Chain A
Amino acid sequence: MNFASPEFRVKVGLSEMLKGGVIMDVTDASQARIAEEAGAVAVMALERVPADIRAEGGVARMASIEKIEEIMQAVSIPVMAKCRIGHAAEARILQALQVDFIDESEVLTPADEENHIWKHDFKVPFVCGCRNLGEALRRIAEGAAMIRTKGEAGSGNIVEAVRHLRAVQREIRRLTTLAPEELVAAAKELEAPLDLVQWVAQNGKLPVPNFAAGGVATPADAALCMMLGAESVFVGSGIFKSEDPARRAAAIVKAVAQWQDPQALLEASRHLGMGMRGLDVSRLTPEEMLSRRGW
């Protein structure tokens, strides 16, 4: 893969700019302004937050154009929007709309159960979810300019995000210890392209920024993701399903900026009101687990 092409560098460049920040799910202009005011580095324009998608069911699609435009007009920070896995036509529409980033997301109902979008065809950068290193490298091979571990969206439960972050970091560390001939077997096992496996083995990290998502509900959850190697955090339902969204959003921003400082985390965790209620992920059936969508 040619990471040095100007097109790819410009895509990954925006991912670099979003590091150390919080990307917040919003469903209208007023939520977008609350997010920007709280210090979000970007917003994700959505029709419904994942917790509502989970509760209401039905087919979840790309948000309406009017909704996304309303949000783009409301804020000066980058605006992301989600398309369904494999839905290249939704992605083309989002690119024509000039969103800043597309999330090919398992939170929406997949359009293709076998293939993801060939993201090299697009000028706009993509972020994709993963549960492990192999999945991350397959998405990067397809052209993703940012990876986020999936976690379990709309659950308010950090356990799956931790599982996925740990899996990616553990597999990266393992690759750095292998001999060249062993990397071929590792590529087979990971179901990932050999050149990307070799790149990770040599550099000890992913070739694109690695963010975390899915289940972040508190400043402490966000800080835990950073401790486990995430470079930024996506927060979905955790903010606007809580008692005091503006305060919680600002607190999560502070926690990500000062994740190494327990005293700052303590201050960020005060007076937040009730968090979102959350789900026991172990009671979800496999069909109810959004993170199992995509491969």
Chain B
Amino acid sequence: MVGILALQGDFAAHRHALSERGVATREVRKPKDLAGLAGLVLPGGESTTMLKLLAEFGLDAPVKESVAQGMPVLATCAGVILLAREVQNPPQPSLGLLDAAVVRNAYGRQLASTVATLEVAAPDELPFPTLEGVFIRAPKLVQLGSGVKVLAKRGQDPVLVRQQNILAATFHPELSPKHPVLDLFLQLVRRGQ
């Protein structure tokens, strides 16, 4: 069972993408919804809203604990902002689980949102020359720690990274048909990490 944080954002799109792959999912709105999960998705949406609701409903500490203990996590867009070590533009609190800083809305407003072609930087994990990336008011990852492996880039920007059990995409694989990043996440889930 894979949990999808469903406080706000495109949790329905994630649910749809996983159920297409035959994976059972559960919406996570309360701490008790985290029990027994094999993996967790932190979806896209508005990070400011999610951050408030995580604290409001007592989910911040349990989510942090689950991820720190090794639960496989797929974070997309706003989800990456929640996990980052530091948030810029403007600064805001975060869970501090991914050793990277993240710049919000780094490409600009909605008019800068686009479907881009990504170059795979780690063919051992993603055996494809290129990937599609749907970017919506996307953030940028900067100042990556040494334990953070870059899996894909958009130009010079790292847009898909992995740090042990954390898979973080600044784009939205859940909005592309049959995106390999979701399969990579499910591999982590099956391996238990």
A residues bordering B, Cβ < 8 Å? 6, 9-10, 13-14, 16-21, 36, 39-42, 76-78, 95, 98-101, 123-125, 231, 253-254, 257-258, 260-261, 264
Contact = CB atoms under 8 A, between A and B. Distances in A.
A19 B46 contact: no
Contact of A77 (B10, B46, B135): B46
Given A16-B10, A17-B9, A17-B136, A100 B45 contact: no
A162 to B, nearest CB: 22
Contacts of B49: 21, 39-41, 77, 253
Contacts of A253: 49, 52-53
A10 B108 CA distance: 14
A99 B109 CA distance: 8
B61 interface: no
B130 interface: no
B134 A13 contact: yes
A42 B137 CA distance: 13
Nearest to A258: B29
Nearest to B51: A39
B45 A14 contact: no
Interface in B56-81: 56-57, 77-78
Contacts of B105: 76
B52 A10 contact: no
Given A9-B175, A39-B53, A41-B49, A14 B137 contact: yes
B80 to A, nearest CB: 13
A168 B29 CA distance: 27
B104 interface: yes
A99 B29 CA distance: 31
